[in-house]
Amino acid sequence: MSTQWPCTRLLVDLARGPIQIELAPDEATRAQIARTVTLEALPRLTAKLTLSPWLDGAELTGRFEAEVTQICSVTLDPFNQTLSGEIHVTMVPAGSPNAPGEEGPEVELDPDDPDPPDILEGERVDLSAYLIEHLALEIDPFPRKPGAKFDYVPDRAEESPFSVLRKLQDPKSST
């Protein structure tokens, strides 16, 4: 079980086979993550990940569970919500023949195809960064507290621009 944060692993460590990692950041780290992804609080975050060899790089798979505190976009009250998600990312070192090329003809992307592998800056895989990235993707940008209803009633009936102009032309309506 890994308790270090940030949690990184070297690609050469995968020579012995897949590595199982469980991440559970402490309270101070969760507070820092909450600020990073603009949450009120992050009471709980756990992940079970597997880092496996893939071509000349690595494949990260796993699942995370989190409890997040957000501000309701309707009532402005804080509320807790449970999030969970899957992580599946492939990565290769810079200069790899398996890295997606930036040169050459234009490539058409199919949304059903798997994502191209990420290119690592060095020989380390930052598992905690991938966890934070996937957590951020699961967060609702406009959260609504369960049961919150948006009941907007304008202060007055809106006038059309033409009715305002009509009042300016008609001298009887201004008195």
Whether the per-residue pLDDT at 85 is higher than 70: the answer is yes
DSSP assignment of 70-111, as one string? EE-TTT--EEEEEEEEEEEEEEEETT-TTSPPSSSS-----T
Q: How far apart are CA 39 and CA 32, in angstroms?
A: 10
CA distance 85 to 71: 21
Locate the domains of the chain by residue range. 8-169
The model's pTM is: 0.80
Mean pLDDT of 136-147: 93
Q: What gap in Å lies between CA 59 and CA 26, rounded to an integer?
A: 26
- pLDDT value of position 171: 66
Residue that wins the pLDDT comparison between 116 and 32: 32
pLDDT-based confidence at 1, cuts 50/70/90? very low
